[in-house]
Amino acid sequence: MKPSPVQLMQLMFKHVKVELDPEHQAPELLNPLTSVFTFNGVSLRSEIGIGEADMNHERGRLYFVELRAVVDNEPNPEESKQSFAPYKIDVAVEGLILIPKGAEKLGDPEDLAAVNGASMLWGAVREQVQTITSRMRAGPVVIPSMNFHDLKKANGSSDALAPEASVLKTRRSKKRVRFLEI
């Protein structure tokens, strides 16, 4: 076992909103020991932003990565088999991601921070949602694992922010995701 070349240095939740959606609540409560809610057909939206924090840090390059995950249960007329979650979910989190010196041989440092940082933050969101819903009326839910490889810059082009920039670039993964039965 050895440390990952990408490190999450800090994690901070901006907001965590999980509320029971009475419009889409099951008529009978599920038994959490025998039934598990799946997100098949549920629209799940994510937004990801990345910005430079300190490109000359003694240990490497530091990036801010923000992630927001939303299940709003809004009907989508284009989706014939849309399902709804028992909860409305809106969670925003930000993290400080370190790309150590020498890691650039593995890929573009900003791509490493975006893809891996979003994955690490997503794991924290999944855990937080499961923890909160485990004490809620409709029972625990675990949002699905996700792949963030689509956040890589296209054709190796450099979209890097100027060092003095203070706003985060947004690389939106604006996918409405419909999950298939496993």
What's the pLDDT at 133? 95
What's the pLDDT at 36? 82
Kindly tell me if the per-residue pLDDT of 182 is higher than 60.
Answer: no
CATH code for position 116: 3.10.420.10
What's the pLDDT at 23? 92
* Calpha distance 24→70 (Å, rounded): 16
169 domain residue, yes or no = no
170 domain residue, yes or no = no
Q: What is the pTM of this model?
A: 0.82
Q: How many domains does the chain have?
A: 1
Kindly tell me if the per-residue pLDDT of 22 is higher than 60.
Answer: yes
37 domain residue, yes or no = no
Kindly tell me if the per-residue pLDDT of 48 is higher than 80.
Answer: yes
Kindly tell me if the per-residue pLDDT of 156 is higher than 60.
Answer: no
89 domain residue, yes or no = yes
Query: Residue 139: which domain range?
Result: 1-24+48-76+85-149
Q: How many other C-beta atoms are found inside a 10 Å radius of the C-beta of residue 130? A: 13
35 domain residue, yes or no = no
What's the pLDDT at 32? 67
43 domain residue, yes or no = no
1 domain residue, yes or no = yes
Mean pLDDT of 19-41: 83
67 domain residue, yes or no = yes
pLDDT in tens, 66-114: 999 999 999 988 888 899 999 999 999 999 999 999 998 999 999 999 9
Mean pLDDT of 29-37: 75
pLDDT in tens, 118-151: 999 999 999 999 999 999 988 899 999 999 999 9
CA 10 to chain centre: 15
Residue 178 has which token pair?
């419909």
104 half-sphere exposure, CB direction, 13 A CA radius: 8
